[in-house]
Amino acid sequence: MGVSTSQGLRQIEHAECHILHIDMDAYFVSVELLERPELRGVPVVVGSPSGRSVVLSASYEARAFGVRSAMPMSVALRRCPTAVILPPHQRRYAEISREVMSIFRSVTPDVEQLSVDEAFLDVAGSMRRLGGPREIGEQVRAQVQATLGITASVGAATTKFVAKIASTRAKPDGLLLIPGDRTVAYLHTLPVSALWGVGAKTQEVLARIGIRTVEDVAHTPVPTLRRLLGASGEHVHQLAWGRDARRVVVSRPEKSIGAEETFSLDVEDTAVLRTELLRLAHRTATRLRTSGYRAGGMALKLRYADFSTLTRSKRFDEPVDSANALYTAATALLGSLGERPMAVRLIGLRAESLESGGDGSTQLTIDRRDDNWRTAERALDEVNRKFGAAGVVPAGLLASKHRAAEPDDDQPTSGATRARS
């Protein structure tokens, strides 16, 4: 059996390139255009029109003006004043993502999901049934296009690192296969920025001694790279020769539900942050109960004025679905940070390690107070379900002075939502 399989694979062209990296093209924009097809071909940016927000995704027409994801929206609008700004719909992105990943898993069970629109696939076990890696990649692209109406780019190679490079250079709506025997020659034509872990600062360090290409890195002694880059020096050298031992790891990312807010003005007042956490806790807990989930843990997220981001997390002794439990944990984490280095631009709260059972019926708890809070919050759910979500709110939110510029709610998702490029 093993000999037969080996012989069969040798007859398949480029069977050594069994690692695929598949990435949707301008994913958030592509999903929005399914509802707004009249905007195809014009500059489109997904995000809030507020000057304090950032670009989540930009169409290729907008990119021609220099608009990029994670760019402040004010800068994007200066570069492309004619851009159409569309608000994000995270729930829809998660729904389409589940269908995308389902298509991937119909090809191979060996899928490592990286985000809502991106994954590595190992198709070694699928080639006898579906053909070589190029054929499989084209089949997946065609199925995504026909089923979902969006496009994907595919990179095929012998390693994850090279497959990722290939998909990036295949964009948009293309496929690039880099054969094993041509991998090193191809890599050595690229700038050093193509290597994982080589950002702007590392590029500057390397440029000081004349290292500007992947080939330059490959021919630099490892001890020299270690002196320049520390422990990552040897890793970068390995990548420069196309060596990447990491395999595709089948991932089942934990589901999560969360919400975050970007303030219209940076906030230094802890009381304001605590009030916003109360709002986010109630918003998140309501969705937990509506979705039938309880959270085994939670995470607090702060983004400072300089865009640096900090996260802290906590596990619960028992899974929870009450805003009081989420708020108590979040404010404890906030207090544990001590003095903050600067004002806060964004604050977020996320319920993690979800498990089904948060249906508002019974929940084991040793804290009677928490059970009382859950009972009160379920009553709030019923009132707001009958009279609208704005009908009843906690008293602590009635006099809130700071309204956030940019609410962002996440529904249960198996991959991290992130700015798309």
Catalytic residues: 118
Strands of the 256-267 sheet, one edge to the other: 309-320, 293-304, 344-356, 256-267, 404-413
Q: Which two tokens stand for residue 194?
A: 């193509």
Cis peptide before 341 (omega within 30 of 0): no
Residue 391 is which amino acid?
Answer: G
Do 166 and 156 touch, CB atoms closer than 8 A?
Answer: yes
Please state, in angstroms and rounded to a whole number, the distance separating the CA atoms of residues 388 and 391: 5
Q: Which two tokens stand for residue 384?
A: 């707001």
Please state, in angstroms and rounded to a whole number, the distance separating the CA atoms of residues 292 and 274: 26
Please state, in angstroms and rounded to a whole number, the distance separating the CA atoms of residues 3 and 115: 37
Residue 230 is which amino acid?
Answer: G
Please state, in angstroms and rounded to a whole number, the distance separating the CA atoms of residues 66 and 330: 38
Tell me which residue of 245, 277, 20, 288 sits closest to 144, measured CA to CA. 20
Contacts (Cβ under 8 Å, ≥6 apart) of 116: 27, 93, 94, 97, 413, 415, 416, 417, 418
Strand partners, 344: 267, 304
Helix 270-291 with 323-336: angle, nearest 10 deg: 140
Go through the chain and tell me how many residues it has: 421
Tell me the longest C-alpha to C-alpha distance in the chain: 74
Please state, in angstroms and rounded to a whole number, the distance separating the CA atoms of residues 176 and 378: 53
Please state, in angstroms and rounded to a whole number, the distance separating the CA atoms of residues 71 and 47: 10
